[in-house]
Amino acid sequence: MKPAAFEYHRPENLTEATEMLASLSDAKILAGGQSLGPMLNFRYLMPENLIDLNRVPELQGIAHTEGVIRIGAMTRQYQLERDEILHKKLPIFREALRWVGHYATRNRGTIGGSLSHLDPAAELPGLCALLDAELVIRKKGSESRTVSIHDWPVGFMQPNISEDELLTEIVIRPWSVPHGFSFLEMSRRHGDFAIAGVACLVSVDSQLKIQKAAVSLIGVANGATRLRGAEAALVGSAVTENLIETAGQEIDQLEAPADAHHSGAFRKRTAKTLFFRAVHNAYQDAVARRTA
């Protein structure tokens, strides 16, 4: 399974990268290579040109400022896992990243690559949706534009980006209030694509009622999905099992495509079970942090 021939280009900085994107036709971006590599090896894709971003310094690094985290698109998954400040502010990242591929793939795979590939079962797009991330896009000769993660997918595995544009940065604003989290995923084996996964953040008030909730679902619909209806249902009332169950019914309304290996109904069923458990866990976690 050898790739078809391609011309290889390696920009040394962001300007060169955007210039190449503007001038080369039939070009694919090579980021971590963990998704693209297999597709090239299978010859599912045979681009004429490959633009390797692995030595563009402006795309690397995690910058922490007051209330904002800026992650370079070529930041490797293992770097996200190990960043202690990120872990302190957003512990859900380290938990979710355990489920992203495997140890060796995380040494190469990038957040930008994952967001550009947009596999519906991918964890990082799910976390970005959970946190209302903003994506910074650049192209040659113009100002950068910012896209909300919620406007990023325009179709099945299709991001809101044109051939001459480059995703450079992911901007996340962690919740300022103390909150609990839970990330649950079900897959056939560890590291496999998620059948369904739920990422959940919950914050409680002094009466231990949910005052803020965010729930993001992966693997079920065509991409990561925020469950706005469920979130609204969870806020304000006393937390009971019935409340969580009722909130989870939003999942029944989702379009869940089937594939050769799983039915849509099974994915939704799994998602509902995980939703129930994740909200429960996040709530317990929020209460524990509050009373600690």
Partner 1 sequence: MTTLHSVEMTINGKTYRVNIEARTTLADFIRHSCGLTGTHVGCEHGVCGACTLQVDGRAVRSCTMYAVQADGASVTTVEGLAREDGELHPVQQAFSDCNGLQCGFCTPGMQMTIASYLEENPNPSEADIRELISGNICRCTGYQGIVRAALLAAEKMREAR
Partner 2 sequence: MGVRNLGAAVHRIEDGRFITGKGKYVDDIRLPGTLSAAFLRSSEAHARITALDLSAARNIPGVVAAFSLRDFGPQAMQRMVQAYPNPAIKTDITPYPLALDEVCYVGEPIAIVIAENRYLAEDGVQAIVLELESLPCVIDAREALKPGAPKVQLAFESNLSATLNWKFGDIDKAFTDADHVFSEEYFQHRGSPHFMECRGVLAQSDLVSDRLTLWSSTQSPFLVRRYLAVYLGRDESSIRVVAPDVGGGFGPKAVHYAEELVVAMAAERLGRPVKWIEDRRENFVSTNQQRDQWWQVSVACKADGRILGIRAQCIHDNGAYVPYGLLLPNTSVVPFPGPYAIAAVDIQLHSALTNAVPTTPIRGAGRPNATFVMERTADTVARELGLDRAEVRRLNFIRKEQFPYETGAKLPSGVTVQYDSGDYHQTLDMALTASQKDTFESRRQEAAKRGKWRGLGIASYNEDSGLPPYEGATVKVLPNGRVVVEVGSCAQGQGLETIVAQIAADYFGLQTHDVLVRTGDTDLSAIALSTVGSRVAATVGPSVHLAAQQVKEKAIRLAARDFEASENDLEMIDGRVCIKGVPGKSVGLGDLSRRLIANVNLPVPEGFSPGLEATAYHTTSRPVYANGSNVCEVEVDIDTGEVHLLDYWVAHDCGTIINPRLVDGQIIGGVVHGIGNALFEHMKYDRETGQPLCNNLGEYLLPLATEMPQIHLQHMESPTPVNPLGIKGAGEGGTIPGIACVISAIEDALKPLGVKINEYPLSPERLLELIDERRYHKAS
Distances (CA, A) of 260 to 100, 119, 222, 224, 257: 22, 16, 15, 20, 10
**Look-up: residue for tokens 């994740």?**
278
Structure-token pair, residue 9:
């280009």
Distance in Å, CB of 102 to partner 2, minimum: 10
- Which of 24, 50, 196, 221 lies at the binding interface for partner 1 (CB under 8 A)? 50
Distance in Å, CB of 95 to partner 2, minimum: 16
Distance in Å, CB of 3 to partner 1, minimum: 5
Pick what 78 binds: partner 1, partner 2, none; C-beta below 5 to 8 Å, kind-dependent: partner 1
- Which of 104, 232, 258, 265 lies at the binding interface for partner 1 (CB under 8 A)? 104
The answer to whether residue 3 forms part of the interface with partner 1 (CB under 8 A) is yes
- Which of 6, 78, 175, 266 lies at the binding interface for partner 2 (CB under 8 A)? 266
Interactions with partner 1, residue window 16-45 (CB under 8 A): 30, 33-34, 37-38, 40-42
The answer to whether residue 260 forms part of the interface with partner 1 (CB under 8 A) is no
List contacts with partner 1 (CB under 8 A): 1-8, 10, 30, 33-34, 37-38, 40-42, 50, 52, 54, 78, 98, 101-105, 107-108, 189-191
List contacts with partner 2 (CB under 8 A): 1-5, 38, 42-43, 186, 188-193, 195, 260-263, 266, 269-270, 273
